[in-house]
Amino acid sequence: MNNYKCTVCGYTYRPERGDKLRDIDPNTAFEDLPEDWKCPTCNQPKMAFEEMK
């Protein structure tokens, strides 16, 4: 599972950590996040993220 970075604020979604603020369990792939999930830092939608390689 790859990390994804918000292109607005630089927040990195790390699947191994999940997102505690929005009840996303650890080991949840970015692709499996709900469509309405938003950046926990700047509230941008998933489309503002790019895959980190």
CB 12 within 8 A of CB 49: no
Per-residue pLDDT band for 53 (boundaries 50, 70, 90) equals confident
List pLDDT tens digits, range 9-33.
Answer: 999 999 999 999 999 999 999 999 9
Torsion, Cα of 31, 37, 39, 41 (10° steps): -140
Average pLDDT along the chain: 97
**Total domains, the chain:** 1
9 is in an annotated binding site: yes
Q: What is the CATH number of the domain that holds 27?
A: 2.20.28.10
6 is in an annotated binding site: yes
Indicate the pTM of the whole model.
Answer: 0.93
Per-residue pLDDT band for 48 (boundaries 50, 70, 90) equals very high
For residue 33, the enclosing domain spans 3-52
Q: Chain centroid to CA 42: how far?
A: 11
